[in-house]
Amino acid sequence: MTRELAGPQEKCGVVGVSLDGRAAARPLYYALYALQHRGQESAGIVTHDGFQQHDHVEMGLVGDAFEESDLDGLAGEVGIGHVRYPTDGSVDTSCAQPFSVSFKSGSLGLSHNGNLVNADEIRDELAGHGHAFTSDGDTEVIAHDLARNLLEADLVRAVRRTMNRIHGSYALTITHDDTVLGVRDPRGNRPLCIGKIDDGYILASESAAIDVLDGDLVRDVRPGELVVLDDDGTGFESYQLVEADQTANCFFEHVYFARPDSRIDGNLVYDVRRELGRKLWEESGTDSDVVMPVPDSGRAFASGYAEAAQEDGASVEFAEGLMKNRYVGRTFIMPTQDARERAVRLKLNPIRDVVEGKTVTVIDDSIVRGTTSRQLVDLLRDVGAEAVNFRVGAPAIISPCYMGIDMATREELIAADSSVDEIREEIGADSLSYLSVEAVADALDASEADLCLGCVTGEYPYDIDGEATDRTVERPDVGAQPADD
Ligand code: AMP
């Protein structure tokens, strides 16, 4: 039995800046633009001007969420921002972020990417102490817990106490009055990095956000680390607050979620995708006249695959035989299967001249429900493909993600209880192969034990009710007084 985690999951992009002599709002706004792919449901910014906190949070895309006057009103040289991923059709303003609140211990702003697995227990415990909650999201739980700890301890100790209570994945940017903090969970599930920009420093989910501000990536925030940006923009302090034996970096960030031009945990996402494509050829290469990507996500995989094939002497041509209408929203979040199928047709159109009479290998980064692949195989046959081989740049997704990526329920996952051959038949391809888990670890230069592979192995690095874990994990006892000092 699978427990549905209560409350909406937080699948998002986060950013924080501390500048000297320059308002934070515009750099935050540009950085959020660079992170738009991580969330399109809502966008928000919280700043602090040394006296008070300002916030503006709206539903919609970054470009629609802020007017010039909104940015002018966000006074201060420090601040954080957030873009939130869409949930399946539901629009929930109470969960738009950054979450901001004023407590006796000062004002707090919080942006969260990830998902706690013990938020309910902590919420119940805090509610018992009189904390009133306005949303069912786990970010508010972190905010309340931190606020309570700040009444009794200094900033670093308070953050450590909260980290010792919360369990799950979190990359956080936080404002505590005019101090900006970044925190990454002890297993580093979601990405977070530090950059140097003009007049200050930035924390961001992905390095592409640093690039758009013409900054330089300094390094990734380490798992279990708290980074405190200096309020005069001259540097940052680092505190390694929690140590874990292993990491649990999400491999799916590299496969699908992150931008190819971002560098995460030492790897350029584009290089990883090309390498995964090369491995796909090594593991399951097949002769065909043309190799083509499913745009845009399959592009780097297909170019790696074609390059490795050509190096092996295969006479295969790389072609862009599918064109994407970039104005169609993500098919994934369409509420009904009918709408999803229509959206795939609107989004992808094959070029008959590239495909007709040819044997084709089509490459996508992943198959989730099978909607895209099933429709594509049909479309390619309709325009005269002789054979359609489907290759996937990730292992089969057999289990849901609880750690912050919106995928599908187990019932909706095509690979949850079907063999590869059954899936091949269902999508109507002549052949179908996925990538092995070993190839993923190899391409990331990591051991499997240091990756979160829950969605492809069904074993999770965190303790999730009703699911298996692939390591020894103990949930914190949320009621216990932390021994941190
Ligand atoms: P499906 O059509 O359900 O099999 O989904 C597979 C397609 O959705 C692929 O083209 C992927 O690039 C894309 N995809 C994979 N994971 C996600 C996700 N978490 N959110 C949105 N799209 C995704």
Tell me the average pLDDT across 265-289.
97
Same domain, 241 and 296: no
Tell me the average pLDDT across 259-270.
97
* Residues shown for the chain: 485
Identify the band that residue 366 occupies on the pLDDT scale cut at 50, 70 and 90: very high
Q: How far from 196 is each of 78, 83, 207, 217, CA to CA, in Å?
A: 14, 21, 11, 6
Residue 191 CB coordination number (10 Å): 28
Tell me the average pLDDT across 361-376.
95
Q: Cα–Cα distance between 16 and 205 in angstroms, integer? A: 10
Alpha carbons within 13 A on the beta-carbon side of 463: 10
pLDDT of 86: 59
Render pLDDT for 176-235 as a digit per residue (tens, 0 to 9): 999 999 999 999 999 999 999 999 999 999 999 999 999 999 999 999 999 999 988 899
Residue of the nearest CA to atom 17 in ligand 1? 407
CATH of the domain at 145: 3.60.20.10
* Residue 474 falls inside a structural domain: no
Tell me the average pLDDT across 86-96.
61
* Residue 255 falls inside a structural domain: no
Dihedral angle, C-alpha 120, 124, 126, 128, nearest 10 °: 180
pLDDT of 103: 83
pLDDT of 5: 41
Same domain, 291 and 238: no
pLDDT of 470: 86
Centroid of ligand 1 to alpha carbon of 201 (angstroms): 34
- Active-site residue identified among 12, 193, 401, 455: 12
Tell me the average pLDDT across 277-295.
97
pLDDT of 4: 40
The dihedrals phi and psi of 16, each to the nearest 5 degrees, come to: -155, 140
Q: Are 194 and 219 in contact (CB under 8 A)?
A: yes
Same domain, 140 and 274: no
pLDDT of 2: 35
Same domain, 163 and 277: no
pLDDT of 137: 86
Residue spans of beta strands (DSSP E) within 153-220: 168-176, 179-184, 193-197, 200-204, 216-220
Two structure tokens written together for 76: 């201060």
Which ligand 1 atom is the nearest neighbour of the CA of 298?
12
Centroid of ligand 1 to alpha carbon of 345 (angstroms): 15
Same domain, 244 and 274: no
Residue 401 falls in the annotated catalytic set: no
The dihedrals phi and psi of 336, each to the nearest 5 degrees, come to: -120, 160
Q: Cα–Cα distance between 300 and 269 in angstroms, integer? A: 10
Centroid of ligand 1 to alpha carbon of 19 (angstroms): 37
What percent of the chain has pLDDT above 70? 93
Provide the domain limits for residue 66: 13-248
Q: Cα–Cα distance between 289 and 307 in angstroms, integer? A: 14
Same domain, 77 and 132: yes
Residue of the nearest CA to atom 3 in ligand 1? 369
- 451-471 CB burial, b ≥16 within 10 A, e <16: bbbbbbbeebbbbbeebeebe
Q: Cα–Cα distance between 177 and 416 in angstroms, integer? A: 46
Last residue of a domain, one of 219, 248, 277: 248
Same domain, 67 and 153: yes
Residue spans of beta strands (DSSP E) within 348-447: 348-350, 359-364, 387-392, 431-433
* Residue 1 falls inside a structural domain: no
pLDDT of 311: 97
User: Strand, helix or coil at 222?
Assistant: coil
Helices (H), 5-118: 25-34, 62-65, 68-73
Q: Are 16 and 48 in contact (CB under 8 A)?
A: no
Which ligand 1 atom is the nearest neighbour of the CA of 406?
19
pLDDT of 482: 58
Residue of the nearest CA to atom 23 in ligand 1? 332
Same domain, 272 and 231: no
Centroid of ligand 1 to alpha carbon of 406 (angstroms): 9
Q: Which of 19, 26, 11 is nearest to 88 (CA)?
A: 11
Residue of the nearest CA to atom 21 in ligand 1? 332
Which ligand 1 atom is the nearest neighbour of the CA of 414?
4
Q: Cα–Cα distance between 217 and 16 in angstroms, integer? A: 14
Same domain, 63 and 26: yes
* Protein residues with CB under 6 Å of any ligand 1 atom: 256, 294, 297, 330, 332, 364-373, 405-407
* Residue 420 falls inside a structural domain: yes
CATH of the domain at 403: 3.40.50.2020
Same domain, 298 and 212: no
* Residue 5 falls inside a structural domain: no
Same domain, 349 and 237: no
Q: Are 361 and 309 in contact (CB under 8 A)?
A: no
Render pLDDT for 404-456 as a digit per residue (tens, 0 to 9): 887 778 999 999 999 999 999 999 999 999 999 999 999 999 999 999 999 99
* Residue 484 falls inside a structural domain: no
- 257 has a pLDDT exceeding 70: yes
Residue 256 CB coordination number (10 Å): 18
Q: Cα–Cα distance between 296 and 375 in angstroms, integer? A: 16
Which residue of 338, 363, 366 sits with most ligand 1 atoms within 8 Å of its CB, as the best mutation to test the pocket?
Answer: 366
* Residue 261 falls inside a structural domain: no
Domain count, the chain: 2
Same domain, 238 and 376: no
Average pLDDT value over all residues in the chain: 92
pLDDT of 104: 83
pLDDT of 483: 54
Tell me the average pLDDT across 92-109.
86
Tell me the average pLDDT across 71-86.
94
* Residue 129 falls inside a structural domain: yes
What is the helix, strand, coil percentage profile of the chain, to 5?
A: 30, 25, 40
